[in-house]
Amino acid sequence: MAFKLTFYGGAESVTGSNFLVQGTKGKVLVDCGMEQGRDFCQECMYEPFAYDVKEVDALIITHAHLDHIGRAPKLVREGFRGKVYMTPPTRDLMELILRDSVHILAEEAKKIKVSPLYDEKDLNLLLDLVELVPYNKEWEAAPGISAILRNTGHILGSGSVRLTDEDGTTLALTGDIGNSPTPLLPDAVAVPDADAMVIESVYGDRLHDTKDVRVDRLRDAINKAVAKDGVVLIPAFSMERTQLMLYELSNLMEAKEIPEIPVYLDSPLAIAVTEVYEKWAKEYFKNGVQTELAKEGSLFRFPFLSMTRDREESESIRKTKGSKIIIAGAGMSHGGRIGKHEALYLPDPHTTLLVVGYQAPRSPGRRLVDGAKSVRLDGRDVTVNATVEMFGGWSAHADRDGLLEYAKKALPRTKTFFVALGEPASARFLAQRIHGFLGVKAIVPTQDETWEITKEGVKKV
């Protein structure tokens, strides 16, 4: 016997991570994510899972991004009652992210006249099933299958999973791999002990800005915006990117490299996530920031920062005259408070929009980066006269060289790579490079495909 791996999600797609691994005795699901972007079929999300969820022994979550956890409560709704394993920070972040989406899902379901994907009750039941596991400590995840999580430096609590079957076959699934080194989290840990590896490929075909340029570009963009008395808008993902941005802004202001202007963190979710980051900072942040942390208490708070939780507070931001920095979700400008700020400020040529993360095809964020002169935001067509700058170096994902480096560290044990969690062109490009540079097999799997994995090699079923 060997492992059987089925790609129920995350094949030729960045989102929807969902991999079923069947061992000699047990069955483990790695991630149960939401599909995002406008490319997928909205209604398909509501269809039952393609496998019998009651037969799954355990769910292992690599990290708390919605495209890795978004359908986990639905799994419970359909009758899954196995254990759900993750690191302690992932548990805290997951609860915030999933509670935040309950009301959005209820509204969406009403619109298309179906029952919601899950409700509060399903979510609470899911949380009851959670068992916390630390990094680097192997445990029995399902009958005959042991597992170990290792830091990937992507977001707080993120980990790769390596599974071992009782016959000795090993399979690793990377989840998302961080853009190490980063200021806050320790570097991604290599996985040198897997026969086969499912590797992410979000930036499989692209290079990021180098890291020292990243802060220089931020400083220059802010100084330019302040010189013309303009507003700086930063659509931010609530996890990691927001905290990194607060950290760098705080450093730049302290060093007087940018003027002391008001900064607004205008997102109740991002504020709550920042508190989770503060809670786990001592235990999970890298050694390099511990002295600073001990001295300052928090890496994310500084005198000119306002955290605006309430709607009224958010609406009063516009009354502040002159230059200011507004950080708000959603990260791809697809709704949320940033949509309102963009609708107000993008027609103004003094405004600067800083885009700091992955933008899915056809999202408003991608259209802005591509230079659209008019974009639909907050329910209306908005003329864009603002300066739009894309900052690649802020990504929480490794770029094409970082991914190849990570793959290289899996050798010589790993004989096959399955390149997943990326757009098709990106996945294919990384697969070619892994094959070309490392001389091993690299496969780009398609949706619902099953592969048999043994110590000797892999075979399509």
**Residues near Zn ion (CB under 5 A):** 65, 176
Q: How far is the CB of 286 from Zn ion (least distance, A)?
A: 19
Angle 186-187-189 (CA atoms, 0-180°, nearest 5)?
110
d(CA 99, CA 359): 24
Cβ distance to Zn ion smaller for residue 65 or 214: 65
CB of 59 to Zn ion, least distance (A): 17
Residue 260: how many CB atoms within 10 A of its CB? 11
Q: How far is the CB of 202 from Zn ion (least distance, A)?
A: 8
Question: Cα(326)–Cα(316) distance, rounded to whole angstroms?
Answer: 12
Minimum Å gap between C-beta 33 and Zn ion is 9
Looking at residue 45, what DSSP letter applies?
Answer: G
- How many CB atoms are located within 10 Å of the residue 235 CB? 29
Q: How far is CA 43 from the centre of its chain?
A: 23
Q: Chain-centre distance of CA 229, in angstroms?
A: 33
How far is residue 325's CA from residue 327's CA, in Å, rounded to a whole number? 7
Token pair of 47 as six digits: 């269809």
Q: Judged by CB, which is closer to Zn ion: 176, or 195?
A: 176
**Spatial contact of 201 and 421, defined as CB atoms under 8 Å apart:** yes
Whole-number minimum distance, CB 298 to Zn ion, in Å?
A: 24
Q: Which is nearer to Zn ion, 241 or 340 (CB)?
A: 241
* Amino acid letter, 83: K
Give the residue from 202, 323, 317, 311 showing the smallest Cα distance to 261.
Answer: 323
Closest approach, Cβ 122 to Zn ion, in A, equals 22
Please identify, using beta-carbon distances, which residue of 237 and 418 lies nearer to Zn ion: 237
Provide CB contacts within 8 A for 313, sequence distance 6+.
306
Closer residue to Zn ion in complex, CB, 178/364: 178
Compare residues 16 and 230 and give the one whose CB is closer to Zn ion. 16
For residue 345, the minimal CB distance to Zn ion (Å) is: 29
Q: Give the residue carrying structure tokens 């306002």.
A: 306
Nearer to Zn ion, 65 or 366 (CB): 65
Instruction: Judge contact between 45 and 117, C-beta under 8 A.
Output: yes
